[in-house]
Amino acid sequence: MACSISILFKSYFCQLSLLSLQSSIDAGNQISMFKESTSENIKPMCSAWEPISNFCEINGDIRVQGNSSTISIVSLQMGTPTGQISWVVKPYVQKENAAAMDLVKNWSVTSVSDPSEFLDCDLIHSVPAILFSLGGFSGNHFHDFSDLVIPLYITSKQFDGEVQFLVTDNRLWWITKFKGILRKLSRYDIINLDSDENGHCYPSIMVGLKYHKELGIDQPKSQDQLSMKDFRQFLRSTYSLKRRNAIRIGDDVGKRPRLLIITRRRSRTFTNMGKITRMAASLGYTVVTAEPNISTSLCSVAQIVNSCDVLMGIHGAGLTNMLFLPDNAILIQILPLGSIDGLARGYFGEPAVDMNLRYLEYKIKTKESSLSSKYHLDHVIIKDPLSVHKQGWDAVRSTYLDKQNVKLDVRRFRTKLSKALELLHQLSRYT
């Protein structure tokens, strides 16, 4: 968890740097991973102009060869254009992020008119295919959902299971981790194209995934009018989560609200967990702690989170597990020193509202940070974090993420947990 969150922040800083470079990047180093070698009158099939996702949707006689990373189009149902078509596609959503794209394989999408150049059909499939990469930032819990799982849900839900997934840059552990979700979205075996020597033929294919926004779905953009409400219901069904709604204090007589504290081991840890737990218990919470990691079953994590009414933790990928909270539950995000408030809200605060959750945040004071014992109050690291930002991602990561822990002022934080109790008393704003 401590390692994976660094990638989450890295993507943000890479995006900032790319914005200033975009206008001066030459053709050999361009971030858009699409190249056209065709005349201007050819009808495009790949959405190279989309700001985030690399995505192609192609109908016709589609032939896929994994060992050469090639997709050939023999005929087009959408209308056969004149001339040849050629794109180079990296099937991952973070196309403007060089760090992510360096970890994604190129795929060639070409039209073929010469029968002697047709790829062989070793296996003929009757259902559409979706090809996507498990490279990029996979392995970071936030990006696993934001870049892969949610976009895959958006892209494949329309097929009601009658679609086959093709993966490149395969990570077997990723398939294992998300096998429950993958089985719900497709009734067919996943094909690892990196190690497959067969030629596969399909009536249509989507290359890449549809992406809307960080950890979310923009319903007006969705072909099927999908929303995060639909996605969270899908997760409840997948993992047999029993609770749809958080506790309403007063209605559920005799029940205590459950508080889940997401803990960390190597960085951004709570150094006074005992005091935090005792204070929360004195307010009437049943306190649960969890440290999800790559070896933890996602199903067991989902069950624990769904059993709770309030989830709190220091900003990091572990907060992504709010996806499994019941409706009207509360997320409390604790913001460490480092002037990352806007970023933190964008990754978790705004998505929480779309998930029918209530969002609270607690910004620590200097004395609550372990950095206060390492640097005097006038030091630039304490006094002017934005000057550290100007030194680049490595400086920010090393200073504020890898080397900072938090000792919560339990008296001050008590008011935030009391506010959460008030919200649990109130009538839900959501249906």
In whole angstroms, what is the distance from residue 193 CA to residue 262 CA? 37
In whole angstroms, what is the distance from residue 208 CA to residue 224 CA? 18
DSSP state of 216: B
Residue 47 is predicted with a pLDDT of 64
Between 186 and 15, name the one with better pLDDT: 186
Query: Tens digits of per-residue pLDDT, 339-353?
Result: 999 999 999 999 999
C-alpha pair distances (Å), 27 with each of 35, 322, 368: 9, 41, 48
- Across residues 264-289, what is the average pLDDT? 95
DSSP state of 120: P
3-state secondary structure of 305: helix
pLDDT-derived band at 45 (thresholds 50, 70, 90) equals: low
Average pLDDT, the chain: 86
pLDDT-derived band at 294 (thresholds 50, 70, 90) equals: low
- Across residues 28-49, what is the average pLDDT? 40
DSSP state of 327: B
Query: Tens digits of per-residue pLDDT, 214-251?
Result: 999 999 988 889 999 999 999 999 999 999 999 988 77
pLDDT-derived band at 420 (thresholds 50, 70, 90) equals: very high
In DSSP notation, 21-68 reads: HGGG--GGG-SS-----S-TTSPP-B-TT-SS---EEEEEEEEEEGGG
Residue 50 is predicted with a pLDDT of 58
C-alpha pair distances (Å), 228 with each of 47, 97, 115: 24, 25, 46
User: Is the sign of the CA dihedral 299, 304, 307, 308 positive or negative?
Assistant: negative
For residue 83, the tally of other CB atoms under 10 A from its CB is 13
Give the residue ranges of DSSP H helices in 283-319.
298-306
Structure token digits, residue 370: 């372990």
Residue 83 is predicted with a pLDDT of 55
The share of the chain scoring above pLDDT 90, in percent, equals 70
Per-residue pLDDT at 26 exceeds 80: no
Query: Tens digits of per-residue pLDDT, 180-227?
Result: 999 999 999 999 999 999 999 999 999 999 999 999 999 998 888 999
Contact, 384 vs 376, CB < 8 A? Answer: no
Residue 122 is predicted with a pLDDT of 95
Per-residue pLDDT at 52 exceeds 90: no
For residue 98, give every residue at least 6 positions away whose Cβ sits within 8 Å of its Cβ, in sequence order, or none.
Answer: 14, 18, 31
Per-residue pLDDT at 6 exceeds 90: no
Per-residue pLDDT at 28 exceeds 80: no
Contact, 142 vs 320, CB < 8 A? Answer: yes
Query: Tens digits of per-residue pLDDT, 55-86?
Result: 889 988 999 999 999 999 986 444 444 456 78
Contact, 364 vs 334, CB < 8 A? Answer: yes
Q: What domains are defined for the chain?
A: 56-226 (no CATH), 245-427 (3.40.50)
E-strand stretches of 173-308 = 191-192, 199-207, 258-262, 286-290
Residue 48 is predicted with a pLDDT of 53
Least confident range from 20-29, 109-118, 123-132, 273-282: namely 20-29
Residue 404 is predicted with a pLDDT of 95
Give the residue ranges of DSSP H helices in 285-367.
298-306, 341-344, 350-354
Query: Tens digits of per-residue pLDDT, 146-162?
Result: 999 999 999 999 999 99
The share of the chain scoring above pLDDT 70, in percent, equals 84
For residue 272, the tally of other CB atoms under 10 A from its CB is 16
Per-residue pLDDT at 166 exceeds 50: yes
